[in-house]
Chain A
Amino acid sequence: QKEVEQDPGPLSVPEGAIVSLNCTYSNSAFQYFMWYRQYSRKGPELLMYTYSSGNKEDGRFTAQVDKSSKYISLFIRDSQPSDSATYLCAMNNQGGKLIFGQGTELSVKP
């Protein structure tokens, strides 16, 4: 079983919808949680970076961490066709190496 589980989708929503992306993890030592966006054949782009349980908001994006449930989420409000990409959750503990989820492929239809 992978340390980080993420539903690979694909997820298709209409433009303007609220998107919810989720990951669960098994290693309670994970302390830092990230969301990356990856367009086809491109490098992952850091979207959100959180440490503690709670919410962090940046524009249309909100990252939520619940350490007690080992569950993290990314919400995208007013989704746009340009948000169509693969979203990867990632996390690490004391060391730097990132452990990724499988990625969720999101398609936002005009």
Chain B
Amino acid sequence: AAGVIQSPRHLIKEKRETATLKCYPIPRHDTVYWYQQGPGQDPQFLISFYEKMQSDKGSIPDRFSAQQFSDYHSELNMSSLELGDSALYFCASSLGRTANNEQFFGPGTRLTVL
């Protein structure tokens, strides 16, 4: 079965650079969630989209922005990168945005900021 696809899998950037992470949800899934997982930490919710509209916002820095496109894929744009942004970034998708819709996670993008 098709899973959530994330690209790139690994990304190395310097401080103050920008990065773009991409997420391709499971086919027919209309909702995308972004989570950030620091070393030894649990995933923290950043932002979510349903039918191309932002549906919820968590602890996402103002330096970050995201959007969902007409084909339901999503991109997380990160600017003025800081050392503390180094983390695993997961995308999850679901069919529907309510609490009873199971979320399936992608393999993650490992971002390292030097």
Contacts and interface: CB of A to CB of B under 8 A. Distances in A.
Interface of A: 31-32, 34, 36, 41-46, 49, 51, 88, 92-103
Contact of A96 (B44, B98, B110): B98
B24 interface: no
A92 B102 contact: no
A95 B56 contact: yes
Contact of B103 (A88, A98, A103): A98
A98 B45 contact: yes
A92 to B, nearest CB: 5
A97 B43 contact: no
9 contacts: A36-B105, A43-B105, A95-B55, A95-B56, A95-B98, A96-B55, A96-B94, A96-B97, A96-B103
B108 A97 contact: no
Contact of A103 (B42, B102, B104): B42
Most buried by A among B45, B48, B97, B103: B103
Contacts, number: 67
A101 B42 contact: yes
B33 A97 contact: yes
Contacts of B44: 100
B1 interface: no
A101 B94 CA distance: 20
B5 to A, nearest CB: 11
B101 interface: yes
B59 to A, nearest CB: 10
Nearest to A101: B42
